[in-house]
Amino acid sequence: QEQLVESGGGLVQAGGSLRLSCTASGQTFTQYGAGWFRQAPGKEREFVAAIGWAGDKTAYSVSVQDRFTIARDNAKNTMWLQMNSLKSDDTAVYYCATDRQAYRNRYGPLPQTRTQYDVWGQGTQVTVSS
């Protein structure tokens, strides 16, 4: 069964950094797009970053651009989200997800909506203190 597992969350002071990891199993990760979403208490799950199946294209929400970096290593079936200059507004549960249609839609834009992703991890908590 296709599965994603996140790790790396925790408590960090404002201005600090965290690196989240997402490991895939049971799927053709090399042809799947991938992304990160987050959900803060009382809010909808929102897009954070996406990366194409080949790792050559990335997209970021305006709230995290220039601070977060998404990357992947298909040989290791792993994706990362490097988060720098963290703010209290970044506090949320972070989820990784894969898009099985990424190769088929490789000439289109990277998906940035929740419904465009097929497999989701369980989430990892990121808490940024002031």
Instruction: State the virtual CA torsion across 58, 91, 12, 73 in degrees, nearest 10.
Output: -20
Rounded distance between C-alpha atoms, residue 49 and residue 34, angstroms: 9
Contact present, 49 and 113 (Cβ < 8 Å): no
Kindly state the average pLDDT of the residues 43-68: 95
Cβ pair 14, 129 in contact under 8 A: yes
pLDDT recorded at residue 106:
84
Higher pLDDT among residues 26 and 17, named by residue: 17
